[in-house]
Amino acid sequence: MDKTLEAFGRIDGLVNNAGVNFVQPFLQTGEREWDHIMDVDLKGSFFLTQYCARQMVHQEPKGGSIVQIASVHTLASLPGAGPYDAAKRGMIGYSKAVAVELAKDNVRVNVLSPGLCATEIWKDIVAAAPSEAECLKFWNANIPSERLIAPDEIAQACIFLLSDMSSAITGANLLADCGMTSQLISKEPYVAKGGTVKSSMKSMKTGNRLTRTATRADYE
């Protein structure tokens, strides 16, 4: 911060991009692991946001834009991701509170939640898989776009949130996930039969209640 102020005289934007991944069964997770994830992924972003926001509300003209890099884990989870999920969802919670509190000072705070990116985390995922091809096959079934996200794509989303193009956006969680969190389940390894579902229903009297029970469903 000191070097930024020395060079530019003000701080207009902050991207909290420091983070560590964590995968370990819940029943085997200790306090040391919990504290490490919280320190890096949540505590660090909270206090750097505070330090920069203090400058943003006092400089003239006041204002700035803060972007928190979270994860699709802000909406859904995987086994063994308890502390990681807690930290990323914590970023959403405090960012919304700060966004509401500082809106009058023209300081915007938003969260950007990427999907699976071609970063060091991807290398760790591949290392644990039987092969990179098998790894890609599995994840492509879980990502509608059937590809990893390039780091530059996340950078472009950050530029949007930092710029005046997003001047009306604050307190939001923007998903940059190639559709991952919109997909209900993995794509089936076969071609599903198309058409609309036709159901045959019958009415049954149960005491004083009329219930409807599906007796048959097939595809037209």
Catalytic annotation present for 51 = no
Nearest-Å Rg of the Cα atoms of the chain is 23
Which position among 84, 94, 190, 219 bears the catalytic label? Answer: 84
Interior angle at CA 112, CA 81 and CA 51, nearest 5: 95
Joined together, the tokens standing for residue 126 give 């591949």
Please answer whether residues 108 and 66 qualify as being in contact, where contact means their C-beta atoms are separated by less than 8 angstroms.
yes
Angstrom distance (rounded) from CA 63 to CA 207: 66
Torsion region of 195: left, alpha or beta (phi above 0 gives left; psi -120 to 50 gives alpha): left
Angstrom distance (rounded) from CA 80 to CA 67: 26
Angstrom distance (rounded) from CA 89 to CA 70: 8
Amino acid (1-letter code) at residue 69: I
Please answer whether residues 182 and 206 qualify as being in contact, where contact means their C-beta atoms are separated by less than 8 angstroms.
no
Joined together, the tokens standing for residue 82 give 């308890």
Give the residue numbers annotated as catalytic, written as ranges.
84
